[in-house]
Structure 1
């Protein structure tokens, strides 16, 4: 058995193909019996979430009116995407006129909107930033790292903290 065939067989039995961060494509090789074996890399939870977020953002671009390409995407489109995600949020964010504003444990229901939590949005942007660099390769044109997105996330964090009665000290 040659070294290359032995390495391919070992990779096939381990179920994991170590490769560069960018290479998550299916690998194939021949076993000693001449049977082609496809080796799929096992992705961890972060990689799965990153792929899911990337696919969701791609769907958003396709469904945008008019449809957008990734090369035309900018920080304003990222902010639109974050606003779009709010409709799926599960975090109650009290408005300033709500009787429960600033109360971490409100005693009853209120009509305030449900939104994405700051932590979820921050995680999504981080994963999309990494996915953009892996798929496109240019960190200079990365719309997920522009100042407007960073400021928006900071504003969301501050608004949600005040709505829950938590004050963050500025450093």
Structure 2
């Protein structure tokens, strides 16, 4: 039966029938569309409204700061007795913020959506160095406030691994596949 459905769908498409069901977008694509629409609404709600063509990294930074009020991650302030403690024993009055990982993923989706909606990589406000600096500051301050240092995972160099200079204390072996 699935074969019949596929043939029927392709013949409808070939005939130009607008009734063809569209495939369900992935979770990522759905979230990207929601994020894009939310950002567009944010720009329209500014006084005066900001057209997307005039959007810059300052608008993006303001949007990220605006989103902070809806965060769910406790970020201890420097004066808090739990500042730097990964698992505080009691509640405190420190604010809830957007988690760095959530902001980083959001910017990635908006960066892609900007270009999919006609923006050029050269003018993409989500790809600005100011945004990268802001995200790094958020990451570092949240890690410090929670007492969990952020450590970037280092990528293994393929050349080091092939020459046998990689770490020898691995408990599992790995296989390298080369494509030509």
TM-score class normalised by the smaller sequence:
0.7 to 0.9
Seen in structure 2, the aligned counterparts of structure 1 residues 8 and 70 have a Cα distance that, compared at 3 Å, is farther
Task: Give the alignment partner of residue 102 of structure 1, picking from 84, 93, 97.
Answer: 84
Larger radius of gyration: 2
Report the Cα offset of residue 89 of structure 1: 0.3
In structure 2, C-alpha distance between the alignment counterparts of 1:11 and 1:122, rounded to whole Å: 39
- Is the Cα contact below 8 Å between 2:9 and 2:20 reproduced in 1? no
Which residue is equivalent to 1:113?
Answer: 95
SS of match in other structure, 1:112: coil
Partner of 1:29: 16
More strand by share: 1
Alignment root-mean-square deviation, CA:
2.5
Aligned residues: 149
Tell whether the 8 Å contact from 2:67 to 2:98 is kept in structure 1 after alignment. yes
Instruction: Work out the CA distance in 2 between the residues paired with 1:75 and 1:120.
Output: 18
1:45-98 C-alpha deviation (Å, 9 max, x unpaired): 100010000000000000011100011100010000000000110000001110
List alignment gaps of at least 5 residues for structure 2. Answer: 155-180
Question: SS at the partner of 2:16?
Answer: strand
Per the normalisation by structure 2, the TM-score is 0.76
The equivalent residue for 1:134 is 116
Q: Secondary structure at the match of 2:123?
A: coil
Normalised TM-score (structure 1) = 0.80
Q: Is the 8 A contact 1:12 1:37 kept in 2?
A: no
C-alpha deviation, 1:148, in angstroms: 0.4
